[in-house]
Amino acid sequence: MSNVQAVSDYKMEYFIWLNRLRESGETNMYGASPYLQCAFSMNKREASKILVEWMEWVRENPSNRDLDYGDL
């Protein structure tokens, strides 16, 4: 099972969004939590959890950071 398949659909939406944020260069990814909070109307704890999961997902397979919606 690939990492893409192992991630639930709702998380994949966040992960792809984070990939796009990273690519934009708008913020250092360690500072991405407030962006998630704003974009998805989530609290700080939820945003931090998603961000950590995204970082782990990218660390496990660095090519994941290049995925976009068209790759799914």
Start-to-end Cα distance in the chain: 14
Alpha carbon distance 71, 23 (integer Å) = 16
Q: Which positions ≥6 away from 22 have C-beta within 8 Å?
A: 29, 32, 65
* For the chain, domain boundaries: 3-71
Residues of the chain short of pLDDT 50, as ranges, are 1
pLDDT in tens, 32-52: 999 999 999 999 999 999 999
Residue with tokens 């709702």: 10
Whole-prediction pTM value?
0.84
Structure tokens at 59: 């660390």
What distance in Å separates the CA atoms of residue 45 and residue 34, rounded to the nearest whole number?
A: 10
